[in-house]
């Protein structure tokens, strides 16, 4: 499982979520999805050299996201995940588009 917060249970605000997606979480498994995240200090004033000096790794993302894509992701997370409590079978089936075996482990 990821080492991040459970967004279904822990509320957050939009600006913090967008910043986390763009800048990742150095020292964890969360990559930065902004391709320039640590090139010019846009992420908490830090650059790659600052992360290296602090022995903080930042995994490479499978792909980077454009600002509009980050905003669409935030919209989705706020509509379907953030603060919504534990997932139910119905929510699981909605996510997958049909009931899948993994959904059977969830409460009705």
Q: What radius of gyration, in Å, describes the C-alpha atoms of the chain? A: 16
Question: What's the confidence (pLDDT) of residue 3?
Answer: 67
Place of tokens 């996510």: 95
Question: What's the confidence (pLDDT) of residue 1?
Answer: 46
- Which residues of the chain register pLDDT less than 50? 1
Within-domain flag for 43: yes
Within-domain flag for 20: yes
Number of structural domains the chain divides into: 1
Prediction pTM value: 0.84
Could you give the CA distance from residue 8 to residue 20 in angstroms, rounded to a whole number?
16
Question: What's the confidence (pLDDT) of residue 82?
Answer: 93
Question: What's the confidence (pLDDT) of residue 10?
Answer: 84
Within-domain flag for 33: yes
Question: What's the confidence (pLDDT) of residue 48?
Answer: 95
Within-domain flag for 96: no
User: Under a CB-based contact definition with an 8 Å cutoff, are residues 41 and 50 in contact?
Assistant: no
Question: What's the confidence (pLDDT) of residue 5?
Answer: 80
Domain containing residue 24: 14-81
What is the largest distance, in Å, between two alpha-carbon atoms of the chain?
A: 49
């Amino acid at each position: 499982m990821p080492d991040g917060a459970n967004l279904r249970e822990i509320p957050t605000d939009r600006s913090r979520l967008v910043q986390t997606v763009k800048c990742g979480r150095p020292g964890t498994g969360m990559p930065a999805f902004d391709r320039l995240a640590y090139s010019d200090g846009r992420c908490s004033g830090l650059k790659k050299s600052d992360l290296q000096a602090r022995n903080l790794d930042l995994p490479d993302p499978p792909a980077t996201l454009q600002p509009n894509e980050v905003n669409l992701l935030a919209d989705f997370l706020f509509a379907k995940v953030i603060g919504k409590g534990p997932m139910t079978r119905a929510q699981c089936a909605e996510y997958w588009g049909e009931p899948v075996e993994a959904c059977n482990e969830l409460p009705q």
